[in-house]
C-alpha cells in the first residue's frame, strides 16, 4: 500500500477532547521524524521536535542558534534548561490544545522529570511509544540519508530514494549529507542516546508510565504507523 493511502484524513474524532502527549522515543534513525509526520497528518495534532526548533534558531542565526550550533555539529546534547524552556513555551500555543507529539524530547533524566511535572501540572496524559531498532539497521539507515539543502526534503538510499540519484525530486537541487548525519557525529549521537536517553525507559516504567514497544527494525514505516495508531486509539 502506498503511503498516501496508509494515511487517512486528519482531525479524526477519536482524538478530539483528549489532551495527550505522544512521546516518540527511540535512537537516532529509529524513524521518529517519519512517524511524527504520519501522526500529524492522521490526528491533526502538532509535532514538537526540539531538534527542528533548534535548527530553526541556527538558521535564524539568533542568540540561541549561536549557542547550540557547535554542540549540535558535534552530535552532543544541548542544555536541559534550554530545551525544557523551548518545550514549555511551545505548549502555550493553542494548537497543542488537543494533544501533540514530542519528537526527540525528553532525552535526559532531568528533562524527563521536568516534562512529567509540567504535563501533570497541565493535566496532560502521556503515552511513551518506543520505536525499537537494531543497531546495524540504524547505521545503515543513517548512512544512506540525504537531504535537499533548498527545501529540506529527506531521502534515503533504500527506503525513500529520489527519482534521480543524488537529485531532489521537488526542485532539482543536488542532495547533501545532513551535517549531523556524518559518521563521527552519528557515533556521538548514538553514544549520547545509549548513555543519557535509553535509561529513561526504565525511569518511565518505574514511575508507572505506560511504555509501548514497537518493532521498527523489520516493519515498514506504514506498518509501524498502523501499530502506533492501534495503541493510540486503544
By the 8 A CB rule, do 99 and 22 touch?
yes
Shortest approach of ligand AMP to residue 8 CB, angstroms?
A: 27
Shortest approach of ligand AMP to residue 53 CB, angstroms?
A: 8
User: Known catalytic residue: 187?
Assistant: no
State the DSSP string of 104-115: S---SHHHHHHH
C-alpha to C-alpha distances, 229 to 44, 57, 105, 172, nearest whole angstrom: 13, 32, 20, 34
**Piece in contact with ligand AMP (CB under 6 A), picked from 12-20, 40-48, 67-75, 167-175:** 67-75
Among 77, 128, 175, 229, binds ligand AMP (CB under 6 A): 77
Shortest approach of ligand AMP to residue 205 CB, angstroms?
A: 20
Q: Which residues contact 108 (CB under 8 A, 6 or more apart)?
A: 77, 80, 196, 197, 200
User: Known catalytic residue: 189?
Assistant: yes
Among 21, 78, 216, 228, binds ligand AMP (CB under 6 A): 78
Closest by CA position to 25, among listed 216, 230, 234: 216
Name the site residues for ligand AMP (rule: CB under 6 A).
28, 50-51, 54, 71-72, 75-78, 83, 104-105, 107, 111, 180, 189
For the annotated catalytic residues, the residue numbers are 32, 107, 145, 178, 189
Amino acid at each position: 500500500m502506498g503511503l498516501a493511502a496508509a494515511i487517512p484524513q486528519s482531525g479524526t474524532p477519536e482524538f478530539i477532547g483528549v489532551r495527550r502527549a505522544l512521546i516518540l522515543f527511540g535512537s537516532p534513525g529509529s524513524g521518529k521524524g517519519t512517524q511524527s509526520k504520519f501522526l500529524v497528518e492522521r490526528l491533526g495534532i502538532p509535532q514538537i521536535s526540539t531538534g527542528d526548533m533548534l535548527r530553526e534558531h541556527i538558521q535564524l542565526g539568533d542568540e540561541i542558534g549561536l549557542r547550540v550550533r557547535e554542540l549540535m555539529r558535534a552530535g552532543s546534547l544541548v542544555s536541559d534548561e534550554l530545551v525544557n524552556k523551548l518545550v514549555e513555551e511551545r505548549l502555550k500555543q493553542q494548537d497543542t490544545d488537543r494533544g501533540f507529539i514530542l519528537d526527540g524530547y525528553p532525552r535526559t533524566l532531568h528533562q524527563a522529570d521536568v516534562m512529567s511535572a509540567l504535563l501533570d501540572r497541565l493535566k496532560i496524559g502521556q503515552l511513551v511509544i518506543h520505536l525499537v531498532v537494531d543497531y546495524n539497521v540504524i547505521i545503515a539507515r543513517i548512512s544512506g540519508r540525504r537531504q535537499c539543502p533548498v527545501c529540506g526534503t529527506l531521502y534515503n538510499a533504500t527506503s525513500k530514494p529520489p527519482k534521480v540519484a543524488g537529485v531532489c525530486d521537488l526542485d532539482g537541487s543536488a542532495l547533501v549529507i545532513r551535517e549531523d548525519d556524518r559518521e563521527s557525529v552519528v557515533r556521538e549521537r548514538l553514544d549520547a542516546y545509549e548513555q543519557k536517553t535509553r535509561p529513561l525507559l526504565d525511569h518511565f516504567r518505574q514511575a508507572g508510565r505506560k511504555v509501548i514497544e514497537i518493532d521498527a527494525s523489520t516493519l515498514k514505516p506504514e506498518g509501524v504507523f498502523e501499530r502506533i495508531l492501534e495503541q493510540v486509539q486503544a
